[in-house]
Amino acid sequence: MPATAVYLDYNATAPLRQAAVDAMVRALRTTGNPSSVHGFGRAARRLVEDARDSVAELVGAVPAGGAAPAGVVFTSGGSEANALALTAFGRRRILASAVEHPSVLKAVEDVEILPVDSDGVIDLAALEARLSAAEGPVTVAVMLANNETGVIQPVAEVARIAHAHGALVHCDAVQAAGKLAIDMRRLGVDTLALSAHKLGGPQGAGALVLADSEAEVIPLIKGGGQERRRRAGTENVPGVAGFAAAGRVALAEMQGAARRLGVLRDRLEAEALRVAPGTVVFGAGVERLPNTSCLALAGLSAQTAVMGFDLAGVAVSAGSACSSGKVAPSHVLAAMGAGALAGSAVRVSLGWDSVEADVDRFIEVFARVAGQRAASAA
């Protein structure tokens, strides 16, 4: 790895925040099973419940009157949270937008796909029509922000339409948490998935947040009474402690970070267009996460580009990071009608430790990669 390596793949995983490290070390030094009734167990339980409070606050799910946020169910990550949400209520018919994460699209068999427009925004008319014709209980799955393009979905409007037809709504908020202000009540969703490592917490920790804290859930993992019988197994105390600590810092810094990262992203895109005028920025015409840019240059394969950046010490990605290390055309961009450009897309995602020099380095390497592509075409 070059000494001047630049990390621009925060949407895959963010570097661990120091606050998360400190919280995890304290938790690792705390002896006790959270389910034990003695003092050691109660100390561990306190860490879990404090983390539950913080995660609820991150997404505006704190109950009125100061009650404990019983609707937060800790999981091993976002993928498990999505799977639990889509099986929790026994509703076998799932409608999902075409740009959902694979952990949603593959959570159950026969997920029905809802189209999106050329910017990657869900077609609300198609949703209305599908629900009007539906028979039996339905769950609608729509993410808050896309992991590849950063495009933000009209989740509150989706929830309004879905609830009018008696459908439940699940929202994958994995990429949005810590980057956008989230108020679960205003979104109107029934369940919401989160993942710690996307916002500077540890890998292996996540949560499913239930709007109805008393809802009965069919657990994926059975065998114990943990998490109010919604997810068996001893809680990952260091993981959830780190998750909560990272969430608290992200929430405190959110507004300033969004402004700063938006400026960096906009400069990155402007410079990319300057050095390679044929560059396409996906979703540029709609609201996006401030940290995410998905770029493509016709004739330049994503695999070649990612390898070129990596050799120069710049970490970017092509599509989702959940494909066993493979670089393949994006189903998200294909759903947006990108055609051949889907195989040329590179995702750049900034984060809490990104600086101006990172953008400078990206543009330097992008100009070189684009120039090599132009030379080979000639």
- 18-249 has the same fold as 6-14+254-377: no
pLDDT for 140 equals 98
327: confidence class by pLDDT, cuts 50, 70, 90: low
Q: What is the mean pLDDT of residues 311-319?
A: 91
Q: What is the mean pLDDT of residues 82-106?
A: 96
Q: What is the mean pLDDT of residues 81-103?
A: 96
Q: Do residues 321 and 12 lie in contact, with contact meaning Cβ atoms separated by under 8 Å?
A: yes
Q: What is the mean pLDDT of residues 267-296?
A: 97
CATH of domain 18-249: 3.40.640.10
pLDDT for 328 equals 64
pLDDT for 329 equals 72
pLDDT for 325 equals 54
Q: How many residues does the chain have?
A: 378
For 99-115, what is each residue's pLDDT tens digit?
999 999 999 999 999 99
Q: Do residues 86 and 69 lie in contact, with contact meaning Cβ atoms separated by under 8 Å?
A: no
219: confidence class by pLDDT, cuts 50, 70, 90: very high
Q: What is the mean pLDDT of residues 315-336?
A: 75
For 29-65, what is each residue's pLDDT tens digit?
999 999 999 999 999 999 999 999 999 999 999 876 6
CATH of domain 6-14+254-377: 3.90.1150.10
Return the ∠ at Cα 12 (arms to 328 and 168), rounded to 5°: 90
DSSP state of 343: G
Backbone phi, psi, residue 138, to 5°: -130, 145
Q: Do residues 261 and 351 lie in contact, with contact meaning Cβ atoms separated by under 8 Å?
A: yes
Range from 42-46, 158-162, 299-303, 324-328 carrying the lowest mean pLDDT: 324-328
Q: What is the mean pLDDT of residues 350-376?
A: 89
pLDDT for 324 equals 42
The torsion defined by the Cα of 83, 239, 51 and 259, in degrees rounded to 10, comes to -80
pLDDT for 2 equals 60
Q: What is the mean pLDDT of residues 289-314?
A: 94
Helices 356-377/302-311 angle, 10° precision: 130
Backbone phi, psi, residue 276, to 5°: -140, 85
Spell out the domain ranges in the chain. 6-14+254-377, 18-249
Q: What's the chain's average pLDDT?
A: 93
Q: What is the mean pLDDT of residues 153-172?
A: 98
Indicate which residue of 218, 322, 340, 355 is catalytic.
322
Active site residue 322: yes
